[in-house]
Structure 1
Amino acid sequence: MEQAMWVSLVSLGIFSLFTSYLMAGVINNDKIFKFITALIYSTSPGILYLTTWSASGRGFFLVMLPLFIYFLIKYRFSKLKYVFFTIILFILLFATHNLFLLVIPIVLSFFFAILIRNIQFKSSVFFGSIVLLALFLFLFMELSIQETTLDKLILNYSRYVGIMGFFTIGGFISILFKKNRTFEESFIILVLLFFTPLFGIVMYAKYFMLPLEALLASYGVVNLIRISQNRKTAYYIMLIFIIISMGVSEYYQFGRSNIEGQSKSNAYWAEESTINAAQWTKSFTNKLVYTDDGVLNRRVLAYSGVNMFSEGPVVYPIQGTLGDFNVSMRSPFSSLFYLDGPYNLENQTGMTTWIWYKLYSEGLDGRWGNLAQNFNVNYYIKNERAISVFLGSRIEEVDKVFDNGNISIWNLRNLF
């Protein structure tokens, strides 16, 4: 099963090389530009992360998004030929992930670019570029930066685009102040303008910005090569950057998670220590189990099948403890019909989730510590490599019944 998933996802990752190459070709039909864009995009840590072991809809979405941009721009030249493919891909992205909402600004940018292309502006290119830059800065400072911190933005975007993201600033400045800007370059500027207020939503922006970052980085690299006096030296320097970039991507994807002695709270898979703890839990516990590690929670549940006090409502149908609920059909005119599905499940697990988070943040010493007793929690599973406040000062009153170095299990019977 794991091998089949790996082969299918890697094939999808390789396909991203071709989709990004097509996208780059319709933006700038330059061999170096197309090659660098495809290389940056397909080997970026974000694409590798989502197309190796992560069977996520986001991975497929990001692989197909450049192809959608390709057909969308091609639609301008041959409406009858490409309108069918554009619509089909839009429907495909619509069915793949909720990120499809971000395709809408891309489509709007395309039609705005067509509209602007047909309007003659009587102003200097430099003045217009300054106005655009001021608008970008205003949207970024007033909307994006309010949602997060600048250092978090830099770290997250660097983590997912890689070392070559360093060239995106130069690429952005070059097309912003370009005198004879092409339609495709105006399209990129407009898409960035739409997305700038969303930069602060790092959880999603770090993914949907990848195609734009690859294009901007390619502009930056190509411009540096063109203005360099010694082209041969410039190519060698770029080759070094590409090798370093691929090395960093490989490190984040494979090496970082396999360093001996590395203290890591959550690996990308269920480790042997997790499986052993789950098997012990299955064999020796018959009452409610709690852990304040969300990932560990789901993995122990998957391998043990015991009754878990979880932070996610998804576990309750698995355990058969969903309780009374009603299923109703949402209206096709409701936005939730398309965002969360046609069916609405009404149940009371939200309160249980709230209690889980209270115990997670405050522990037994906190104001809500007695809730563990009220819910008859008998066992606590602790990730020894993560910081936890659950036991707090009560640690001397409980019995440790299992410990394999990474995970320990505590019996709470002496507390209640």
Structure 2
Amino acid sequence: MQYVSKKSKVTLMILLLLLNLVIRIPSIPHEKGWDSYFIHALANSITTFGTANWWHNWLSVFGLYPYSYASAIPFSLSGLANLTGLTSLDMEITILIFSIILGLFSIFTAYVFAGIFYNDFLFKYFMAFFFSVSQGILTFSTWEVSARGPFIIFLPLFIFILLKKMHYTRSLPLLLSIGFFLMATHHYFYFLIPLVGMFIFLKIISRFNFKWENRNYLNYIYVFGILSVFMIPFFTRSMISAGSRYDWLVYVLFISVRNIGPPLIFAFGGYLYLILKDDKTFEDRYFLGMVLIFLPFLYEQKYGIYLLILFITLAIAIALRNMVDFRIKASKFTAIFLIAILLSSVAFSTYYNHGRTERTDNYWYMEDVTYKASVWTNKYIPDGSHGIGTGGETWRLFPTSDAHPAIPTGGAVIAAYGLINISEAEVLKSSPKSSDYYFEGPYSLKAGTSVWGLTNWMLELNDIDDVRAISYINKFNMTYIIEDVRSYRIIMNSVRNKKANIFDNGRIRLWLI
């Protein structure tokens, strides 16, 4: 073990905090992302109405009922906004503060999590470093609020309490508290079940005094098992929605590198070390067991990698800590090599945190032209007004303007601003045998009845004076159409000919209907 003085520890932690702060200083004019604006709107509604209008029953708290959403983050954001006074048009500043706090918090959750495995400062420091600056964490903790980000950042704390040797009278209340918080944060909470299940399974085995030592054949069985579970989705296409399965493997690698960075290559070394390690601890076996369970989810390109960021960065930290221990004969070279790894990780994450390689009509952040339009609508559009958005930047204008006007952008937002009475929604029970039952909730909307679907249908009509369009407008008390000129909808041809334009800044137009 390499000794690190107390002064050096303090210095290194301060530098890591400063790095995480600087790397999150925005280089863009406004809030980024898409889900962020959805949560932005929900948080605004809580501040405005003093309650969550999307709560119909207890399932709504966890986003498991139609027109609902997991409530922890909207409430946290609204609370911070009221505490700082940064509400309405200033909510995006609240989101910036919230995301930076969350990013800095990730340092400490990763640090204490690593201490469960090895009580060594450099190992814990490597873990905190690579976890907090990985692009998968930075994406959701740099001027963007999400449900996934907080879940992944709080997850190490949950596992820490689960594995920490403490009396159940202390650990159980903490586990339940964080568990309910995570349940109200994201539907990822289902994965807490295997996390707890693996812990219980290993505890039961240990009670039978099973001897793990000198059973090297178990390592080979494990390697066979890990290859098998990884290839199951490949052969069954259970998580491959389209295209070649070989292309999908390439995408898995691409997405992993994109969210972890160049140090990903060292994860294989750390992982192999744990597999072949003779004196495995309870925590080592727990780590290997969870990787065995979660690895197949890498094929799920939208969400899978986020489940594994924690375990991948732990393997990276193990590999680099072993490298430090091995540096006796080549200390200078090893030090330079480690610095290069750290710098490459920071450079990679910084680049993707402040830029993108693709160009589209809708930027990855809100353009200033949209913000200026939201300032105008916030000032001149009356409270409680409803409108129809054509898509694109109108999704961002709605929350930024503090719902001046409110537009149906989908899900809980529709209920939050009174565009529908949830008790009147046509709701069906889902089958417990379907995946939707667990990830979307025990209930779903009857096909063809969602407000968002009706809105899209109306926008594809040819005439704004069509009796069907008029019926829709009257039903939801719509007064305005907000048009993003880069998001074309068929009905806008007749709107431009028949309705009055009351605002136009080149990108956003407002029509009185």
Common fold, TM-score beyond 0.5? Answer: yes
After superposition, the C-alpha distances for 1:218-247 in whole angstroms (9 at most, x for unaligned) are 123234444565233122212122122122
Measure the CA separation in 1 of the matches of 2:277 and 2:412: 51
Aligned residues of 2:464 and 2:494 also touching (Cα < 8 A):
no
Mapping of 1:9-158 within 5 angstroms? 9-75=99-165, 79=168, 82-117=171-206, 118-120=209-211, 124-141=217-234, 142=236, 146-147=240-241, 149-158=248-257
1:230 to 327, 330, 353: 330
1:202 aligned counterpart, secondary structure? coil
Measure the CA separation in 1 of the matches of 2:437 and 2:223: 42
Measure the CA separation in 1 of the matches of 2:192 and 2:390: 39
Compare relative contact order (CA 8 Å, sep 6+) and give the higher one, 1 or 2: 2
Asked if residue 273 in structure 1 is aligned to residue 339 in structure 2, the reply is no
After superposition, the C-alpha distances for 1:368-411 in whole angstroms (9 at most, x for unaligned) are 76799432589572353xxx56459x979966967645x25497
The one-letter code matched in structure 2 to 1:159 is R
What TM-score comes out, normalization by structure 1 length?
Answer: 0.74
Asked if residue 184 in structure 1 is aligned to residue 283 in structure 2, the reply is yes
1:139 aligned counterpart, secondary structure? helix
1:350 aligned counterpart, secondary structure? coil
1:209 aligned counterpart, secondary structure? helix
Aligned residues of 1:147 and 1:200 also touching (Cα < 8 A):
no
Measure the CA separation in 2 of the matches of 1:318 and 1:185: 45
> What displacement does 1:190 show?
0.8
Measure the CA separation in 1 of the matches of 2:454 and 2:251: 29
Aligned residues of 1:355 and 1:371 also touching (Cα < 8 A):
no
Measure the CA separation in 1 of the matches of 2:174 and 2:417: 43
Mapping of 1:235-250 within 5 angstroms? 235-250=335-350
> What displacement does 1:336 show?
11
Measure the CA separation in 2 of the matches of 1:311 and 1:277: 18
- Hey, what does 1:375 align to over in structure 2? 469
Aligned residues of 1:325 and 1:346 also touching (Cα < 8 A):
no
The one-letter code matched in structure 1 to 2:210 is I
> What's the RMSD between the two structures over aligned residues?
4.6
2:302 aligned counterpart, secondary structure? helix
2:319 aligned counterpart, secondary structure? helix
2:240 aligned counterpart, secondary structure? coil
> What displacement does 1:26 show?
1.1
Aligned residues of 1:330 and 1:337 also touching (Cα < 8 A):
no
2:144 aligned counterpart, secondary structure? coil
> What displacement does 1:53 show?
2.5
Measure the CA separation in 1 of the matches of 2:446 and 2:93: 38
Asked if residue 217 in structure 1 is aligned to residue 324 in structure 2, the reply is no
Measure the CA separation in 2 of the matches of 1:93 and 1:231: 43
The one-letter code matched in structure 1 to 2:345 is S
Measure the CA separation in 2 of the matches of 1:353 and 1:396: 21
Number of residue pairs matched by the alignment: 392
What TM-score comes out, normalization by structure 2 length?
Answer: 0.62
Measure the CA separation in 1 of the matches of 2:388 and 2:422: 22
> What displacement does 1:318 show?
5.7
Asked if residue 354 in structure 1 is aligned to residue 453 in structure 2, the reply is yes
After superposition, the C-alpha distances for 1:316-348 in whole angstroms (9 at most, x for unaligned) are 4466442684489999xx999998899x89899
- Hey, what does 1:174 align to over in structure 2? 273
Where structure 2 has 5 or more consecutive residues not aligned to the other structure, the ranges are 1-85, 87-91, 243-247, 474-479
User: CA 1:209–1:350 in 2, change beyond 3 Å: closer, same or farther?
Assistant: farther
> What displacement does 1:89 show?
3.0
Deviates more, 1:243-252 or 1:220-229: 220-229
Deviates more, 1:48-57 or 1:97-106: 48-57
Measure the CA separation in 2 of the matches of 1:219 and 1:305: 52
> What displacement does 1:213 show?
1.6
Aligned residues of 1:323 and 1:347 also touching (Cα < 8 A):
no
1:381 aligned counterpart, secondary structure? strand
Deviates more, 1:273-282 or 1:202-211: 273-282
- Hey, what does 2:304 align to over in structure 1? 205
Aligned residues of 2:123 and 2:318 also touching (Cα < 8 A):
yes
Measure the CA separation in 2 of the matches of 1:88 and 1:412: 49
